[in-house]
A and B are shown apart, each in its own frame.
Chain A
């Protein structure tokens, strides 16, 4: 079976491709370029197209599926009403899928399920990444605040940290918030 993954995010496409690679008898093609998309899909002649829900090229591709006689086999939006649940799950995950008419549901469903799982995994990955970035930024600001306290009040590093911690506890705030306040105040007072 030939599966085309259309996604302008190359990293997400890669995550999905990796997930589908375990399927037997499947050839997987990734398209990340908007320009020439329709021609590329024509060349690939896929049985299934997986596309991110918000992809701006969807109307163009749907038009192509609707009128193209090039593919020989019409591609449709899903199709079998028994698949409603799978489709709803895929829309929730952010995947839209187009399938060659007549392809048996038992062949489609595992692919769709995998795609949904990979999409969700990617979304979690992004969230984790954002959190990690946030943590990194927090550590930087805490380091800065410690240095300010060490310079201005002659604290050792552990003393500076414990001062930040104590203040945070007293005010019911996070250490990073207190550190942020120290850095901001320091800048306002003309420090660097």
Chain B
């Protein structure tokens, strides 16, 4: 079993999605080896399986939807087990894809819609037809679910009242849209593109339009495993940063798309994968490919830094959509899941930029802003929510209390 493995080997669970790229490339390009660790990657088809393998020691670490790491720590739906996140695998990279007729009804101009305008049109459409719509998301505890609900609610569309939100595993999202099981999906790539290629859907929004710098997948470990294997974990953090640098260099696009497309990884179409990892989207069958910069966000601006404020925002949405009440003990536990201290200690003394703070006001920047650094230099760019509402972690409780729960 993995927990008995010799120090130096780490088993990492993942789902076949483009944002599993960093662990895959860390292995394939030898960045892990260069740090003295070897990676074994285990692919599964559902987050439940990825989580079980992590909790029962089949894997040491996992590619995971960020809210699931917090839900597991807080014991939502199963006995609590503390997880730790020393590294964010990426921001955004998801899209909202609708049945073609619905897409045209709520986004008549085509192209990537304006979130507020599409939301308003959706609300009008629902009022006019009187028929509730079904949206598919990849997991109850996913950023997809939280981003979608944030957008809908801010536009006056009530999740679970005006629209039903249901879970569909990523590899089956395109099928569900095609067979009319849902009217829209919010999923990562390449699954939106698969739906578009089949003519089953049209991409209407990217989640990066809802929150320009929204936390997406994380590297999660059981807290005791992270403490026991601390040196290996820090080596992995360094290897993943190197993989990120390689990943975002356009020179490597073809090679990296070909690796990700392999049967043992995404087992998919290299062309579609290349498109997604270069921030290019074919919005509708027969249309033009659109370049939407920072659709996926894997490296710049210390994107992998586990900001405590991101964990706290996710907690705010968990309270909101699970119908809970703010609990300061839970809030602390949730915040503690993200471990900037481990990230810092892994990268201290390297050339990698390290922010001075561990928490920030999310969504407060409208344009490039320099931030104070412990090491290196970064300029943060626009990181707003589409409704311009910032999230100040110092005001967590009042932020939660001010949110509608429908």
Give A67 to B145 CA distance when docked, in angstroms.
14
CB distance from B320 to the nearest CB of A (A): 15
Q: Of the candidates A56, A81, A92, A96, which one forms a contact with B171 in the assembled complex, judged by CB atoms under 8 Å apart?
A: A56
0/1 interface trace, chain A 42-72, chain B, CB 8 Å (1 if under): 0000000000011111111011101100000
Q: Which residues of A contact B (CB under 8 A)?
A: 34, 53-60, 62-64, 66-67, 76-79, 81, 87-88, 91-92, 96
Query: For A87, what are the chain B residues with a Cβ–Cβ distance below 8 Å?
Result: 56
Query: For B49, what are the chain A residues with a Cβ–Cβ distance below 8 Å?
Result: 53-55, 58, 96
| Residue B45 lies at the interface, judged by CB distance under 8 Å to chain A | yes
Verify A77–B78 contact, CB threshold 8 A.
yes
Give A34 to B45 CA distance when docked, in angstroms.
13
The verdict on A59 contacting B48 (CB below 8 Å), with A76-B78, A81-B79 known, is yes
Verify B56–A91 contact, CB threshold 8 A.
yes
The verdict on A91 contacting B140 (CB below 8 Å), with A55-B46, A63-B167 known, is no
Query: For A92, what are the chain B residues with a Cβ–Cβ distance below 8 Å?
Result: 1, 56, 58
| Residue B138 lies at the interface, judged by CB distance under 8 Å to chain A | yes
Q: Which residues of B contact A (CB under 8 A)?
A: 1, 44-49, 52-53, 56, 58, 77-79, 138-140, 166-169, 171-172
Give A54 to B53 CA distance when docked, in angstroms.
10
Total inter-chain residue pairs, C-beta < 8 Å: 65
For the complex with contacts A76-B78, A77-B78, 18 further pairs of A-B residues with Cβ separation under 8 Å are A54-B45, A56-B46, A56-B169, A58-B48, A59-B46, A60-B166, A60-B169, A62-B167, A63-B139, A63-B166, A66-B140, A67-B140, A78-B79, A79-B79, A91-B53, A91-B58, A92-B56, A96-B52
Verify A56–B45 contact, CB threshold 8 A.
yes
Give A73 to B168 CA distance when docked, in angstroms.
23
B interface: dominant SS: loop
* A–B Cβ pairs within 8 angstroms, 21 of them: A53-B49, A54-B44, A54-B45, A55-B45, A55-B46, A55-B49, A57-B46, A57-B169, A58-B49, A59-B139, A59-B140, A59-B169, A60-B169, A63-B140, A64-B167, A67-B140, A77-B79, A87-B56, A91-B53, A92-B56, A96-B48
Query: For A66, what are the chain B residues with a Cβ–Cβ distance below 8 Å?
Result: 77, 140
Query: For B53, what are the chain A residues with a Cβ–Cβ distance below 8 Å?
Result: 91
Give A127 to B44 CA distance when docked, in angstroms.
21
Verify A59–B58 contact, CB threshold 8 A.
no
CB distance from A102 to the nearest CB of B (A): 15
Verify A56–B52 contact, CB threshold 8 A.
no
Top 8 A-B residue pairs of the complex, sorted by shortest distance between their CB atoms: A63-B167, A56-B45, A58-B48, A77-B78, A91-B56, A58-B46, A59-B46, A63-B140
